[in-house]
A and B are shown apart, each in its own frame.
Chain A
């Protein structure tokens, strides 16, 4: 796990993805998303909670790297005289 995560959430909104992380239990490593929901107490639904281990529908966008986070590919530096690249 990682963090801390800071977020502004609207009360009652659906799950918001805060981050993409990598989970490892020592034998298996999986990409995962950290999600949160929040309600004002007087607006909270009386729904049955999930349980750890249950499956939920995955939105492929959760695991897609945001465009802004992508770095442009580095140009290969072939100059022997200037290894730092200027």
Chain B
């Protein structure tokens, strides 16, 4: 008797499956869409940005703009290093080392001896530390730094974003690969979506860091 009930149950399930497959084949078989037959649109092959990395020093993180750790337009933030970047980028293959208050004070004293508005070693080291220097500058007592100097340094340190453009030009002068001018934050690695002509799709990545009053270091 028990065997008979078991056999009937198996038949019932099988009959149900056959019925579903007959009347509702889409429940079982995935329809083949035309999207699978043609190349996916560019939007769908953009790399997925990683989740926001670990905790940042609050004051430095507060200086980031919305989108800095996500990316906008053609630039997608994609930090993927193992070291924490003290300059606000969370993780990067080219992290900025942490700046201590003592070192900041030493650099500030050095710069105070240098001419204002020139690309001097003291100033350029302060600029290299970017957002960290800006956080510390806000803690400097008013009497410790001439107002004109403070304003100059603050203005320079607030330049936290750059516009970058790349191209690959062949011998005939045809632009075969191109990234139109694209705004990105300093210190954060980005992946760039490039236009191509008569060439397979190209994705590049890179980081830009400030290394002077006028100069920027770039890795592509």
Contacts and interface: CB of A to CB of B under 8 A. Distances in A.
A11 B181 CA distance: 13
Contacts of B162: 11, 38-41
A5 B215 contact: no
Interface in B153-176: 159, 161-176
B200 A25 contact: yes
B218 A25 contact: no
B134 interface: no
Nearest to A1: B202
Contacts of B168: 1, 21, 23, 32-35
A50 B170 CA distance: 15
B101 interface: no
Nearest to A33: B169
Interface in A1-37: 1, 3-11, 15, 18, 21, 23, 25-26, 28, 30-37
Chain B: interface residue count, which band? 35 or more
B155 to A, nearest CB: 10
Interface residues of A, number: 44
A61 to B, nearest CB: 12
Contact of A32 (B166, B170, B216): B170
A23 B165 contact: no
Contacts of A54: 174-175
The B interface, classified by DSSP as helix, strand, loop or mixed, is: strand
B3 interface: no
The A interface, classified by DSSP as helix, strand, loop or mixed, is: mixed
A57 interface: yes
A69 interface: no
A34 B166 contact: yes
22 contacts: A3-B204, A8-B215, A8-B216, A8-B218, A9-B215, A10-B215, A10-B216, A11-B162, A15-B167, A23-B168, A25-B198, A33-B168, A34-B220, A35-B167, A39-B162, A41-B161, A44-B181, A44-B183, A53-B197, A54-B175, A57-B173, A63-B171
The 7 A-B pairs of least Cβ separation, nearest first, read A53-B197, A49-B180, A52-B195, A44-B163, A41-B161, A52-B197, A30-B170
Interface of A: 1, 3-11, 15, 18, 21, 23, 25-26, 28, 30-42, 44, 47, 49-58, 62-63
Given A37-B181, A52-B177, 20 more contacts: A1-B204, A10-B215, A23-B170, A25-B198, A30-B170, A30-B176, A35-B167, A35-B169, A36-B220, A38-B163, A38-B165, A40-B216, A41-B162, A47-B181, A49-B181, A50-B175, A52-B197, A55-B175, A57-B173, A58-B171
